[in-house]
Amino acid sequence: MRRLVLVAAILSSTLGTAHAGRSFFGWLYPTEVLPERGVELQTWVFERDRLGPANTKETSMWVGPQIGVTDQLELSFPVEWRWLDTGVDGTRPTFTWERYGAEARYRFVTMDPVDRPAFAPLARVAVKREVTLRDATRVEADLVGSYEVGRALVLVDIGFLGTLRPSNSQFSLVPGAGISVNVAGDLRFGLEGFGEIALDSGHPSWYAVGPNASWTHGRFWLTGAFGIGVHNIRTAPRVMWGILF
């Protein structure tokens, strides 16, 4: 009997951690983090089509391991690539290794399914090396808050981006908000709005709103969003997935 109880406890613990760290939103950072010693490989693929006055087109890819340092602190080491068509006559599209770096996410409340509160705040910071701009460093920061009520999860993400250079540094605010509703099992649908507000004239501001969907299956999760341009962009689709080891 004791062996059966022990096996059930182990299985319950394993299944409980299989979902940690997932995101229900395409463009918004989640408030879930991995448990201590948990490791997950995440991949993102996203596009921004007809961005700004030049109608820039780009497709980017983000790949990196997520590591649970404690039950509330998570580290990541992403590598990013980008295909870019600037829309300038006489130039050809480029594909390049764009940047790499490290980021930390700290959830201020427990992830325990019994004790966790409905409201969960999270802070995220990242520092990245720009590969093609040798004198530039990219910094990112987010304050994220989610509130869970019944089958619905409401999330607000206020972000900041900065590309630091000896001259011509660029800064942006990255606000977003969304809702995700559990419709059946591990399938969710929702809506989100997201974009970038340029704080200088070096790059365009843009905003999009669109549906999202998320599906979890054991140690694998898949999420997508399709942003429809509201300002200065045509479409902004994004798909991301993770596998927990």
DSSP letter string, 134-149: TT-EEEEEEEEEEEEE
Instruction: Note down pLDDT in tens along the chain; length 245 residues.
Output: 455 444 444 444 444 444 556 899 999 999 999 999 999 999 999 999 999 998 999 999 999 999 999 999 999 999 999 999 987 776 889 999 999 999 999 999 999 989 999 999 999 999 999 999 999 999 999 999 999 999 999 999 999 999 999 988 999 999 999 999 999 999 999 999 999 999 998 889 999 999 999 999 999 999 999 999 999 999 999 999 999 99
- The pLDDT value given to residue 22: 87
| Tokens 């997935």 belong to residue | 241
Q: How many helices (H) and strands (E) does the chain have?
A: 1, 13
Contact call for residues 171 and 141 (beta carbons, < 8 A):
no
| Extents of the domains making up the chain | 2-244
| Spatial separation of the C-alpha atoms in residues 185 and 44, rounded to whole Å | 24
User: E strand or H helix at 65, and its extent?
Assistant: strand 56-68
- The pLDDT value given to residue 3: 52
Q: Which CATH superfamily is domain 2-244 in?
A: monomeric porin ompg (2.40.160.40)
| Spatial separation of the C-alpha atoms in residues 78 and 126, rounded to whole Å | 10
Q: In the numeric block, which tokens belong to residue 9?
A: 């406890």
Partners of 215 in the β-ladder: 187, 222
- The pLDDT value given to residue 214: 98
